[in-house]
């Protein structure tokens, strides 16, 4: 099984912004299209897109993102991010991407997976939480099966990494505030590894906490503009980082935060499941 992962291409906006490095909104569509082309040449079984495919969640932006992603030649699954919230709230995200949304849990990809979506109250500002209902359902589904290892896909990380951002004098976006609550409950039900894949922070980072393994993938809207490939063979998982499909844009984006591309151990990792 070979899985491509990318996120945070924020299509449909214009101009230049700033986060860790320069956000090249004017180049978002080009970078996303060329990343799709790159992944189409990787002999992948599936691709997972971990959110923030638009910048504002408008219908125009969502349709543009779908048009780009429809060029993928393998099955693909998509997750909304915080920048897609408006489209989630008004139902357009589900309408446009419905057949590519996997639901909360799935075994169709060949192994047990949870796809965690943010709880979005309609009349309140979101707290970046999963919410009790999703946690209960995820734990109940996991506990009702004999699962040796579990894979989790999420836009937001499930653990805090604020100390990492502070260490690098970088910006910090939120994590799921109740993510560790879920992980504690799942760790009592799953004897083997719990492998988490997330995005949102715009950096490559891998945290191996023993049972809990957490892999963050950087953004396509700013340096280093790279995707991941996850290979699963027998009881071995290998993560590699594909060099950017748009080196000129990546170089233009780089400001002073080269650390977001990660150390060698954040870019390539092999573990036993």
Q: Is residue 81 scored above 70 in pLDDT?
A: yes
Query: What are the tens digits of pLDDT across the range 158-209?
Result: 999 999 999 999 999 999 999 999 999 999 999 999 999 999 999 999 999 9
Assessment of whether the complete model's pTM goes beyond 0.85: yes
Using CA atoms, how far apart are residues 112 and 271, in angstroms rounded to an integer?
Answer: 18
Residue whose structure tokens are 């503009």: 225
% of the chain with per-residue pLDDT over 90: 93
Q: 119, 126 in Cβ contact below 8 A?
A: yes
The pLDDT value recorded for residue 151 is: 96
Q: Is residue 123 scored above 90 in pLDDT?
A: no
The pLDDT value recorded for residue 273 is: 87
- To which H or E segment does residue 266 belong? helix 264-267
**End-to-end CA separation in angstroms for the chain:** 14
Query: What are the tens digits of pLDDT across the range 220-230?
Result: 999 999 999 99
The pLDDT value recorded for residue 43 is: 96
State the residue range of the domain holding 254.
Answer: 2-272
The pLDDT value recorded for residue 82 is: 96
pLDDT band at 108 (very low <50, low <70, confident <90, very high): low
Q: 269, 235 in Cβ contact below 8 A?
A: no
Higher pLDDT: 273 or 201? It is: 201
pLDDT band at 234 (very low <50, low <70, confident <90, very high): confident
Neighbour tally for 233: CB within 10 Å: 10
Q: Is residue 30 scored above 70 in pLDDT?
A: yes
pLDDT band at 238 (very low <50, low <70, confident <90, very high): very high
pLDDT band at 106 (very low <50, low <70, confident <90, very high): confident
Across the range 118-140, mean pLDDT stands at 92
Q: Is residue 124 scored above 90 in pLDDT?
A: no
Across the range 146-165, mean pLDDT stands at 96
What rounded mean pLDDT belongs to the chain?
96
247: domain CATH number is 3.60.21.10
The pLDDT value recorded for residue 107 is: 80
pLDDT band at 248 (very low <50, low <70, confident <90, very high): very high
Using CA atoms, how far apart are residues 226 and 222, in angstroms rounded to an integer?
Answer: 9
% of the chain with per-residue pLDDT over 70: 99
Residue 87 in tokens? 């489209």
**Total domains present in the chain:** 1
């Amino acid at each position: 099984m070979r899985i491509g992962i990318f996120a945070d291409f924020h299509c449909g906006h214009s101009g230049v912004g700033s986060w860790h490095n320069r956000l090249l909104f004017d180049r978002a569509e080009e970078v996303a299209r060329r990343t799709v082309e790159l992944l189409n040449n990787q002999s992948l079984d599936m691709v997972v897109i971990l959110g923030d495919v638009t910048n504002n969640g408008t219908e125009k932006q969502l349709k543009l993102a779908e048009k780009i992603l429809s060029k993928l030649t393998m099955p693909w699954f998509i997750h909304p991010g915080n920048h897609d919230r408006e489209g989630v709230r008004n139902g357009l995200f589900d309408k446009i991407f419905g057949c590519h949304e996997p639901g909360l849990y799935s075994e169709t990809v060949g192994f047990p997976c949870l796809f965690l979506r943010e709880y979005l109250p309609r009349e309140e500002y979101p707290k970046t939480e999963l919410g009790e209902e999703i946690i209960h359902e995820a734990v109940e589904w996991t506990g009702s099966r004999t699962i040796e290892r579990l894979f989790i896909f999420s836009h937001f990380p499930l653990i805090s990494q604020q100390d990492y951002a502070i260490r690098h004098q970088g910006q910090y976006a939120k994590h799921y505030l109740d993510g560790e609550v879920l992980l504690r409950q799942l760790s009592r039900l799953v004897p083997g590894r719990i492998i988490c894949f997330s995005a949102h922070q715009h950096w490559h980072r891998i945290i191996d906490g023993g049972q809990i393994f957490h892999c963050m993938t950087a953004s396509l809207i700013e340096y280093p503009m790279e995707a991941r490939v996850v290979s699963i063979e027998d009881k071995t998982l290998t993560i590699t980082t594909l060099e950017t499909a748009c080196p000129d844009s990546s170089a233009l984006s780089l400001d002073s935060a080269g650390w977001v591309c990660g150390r060698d151990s954040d870019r390539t990792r092999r573990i036993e499941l």
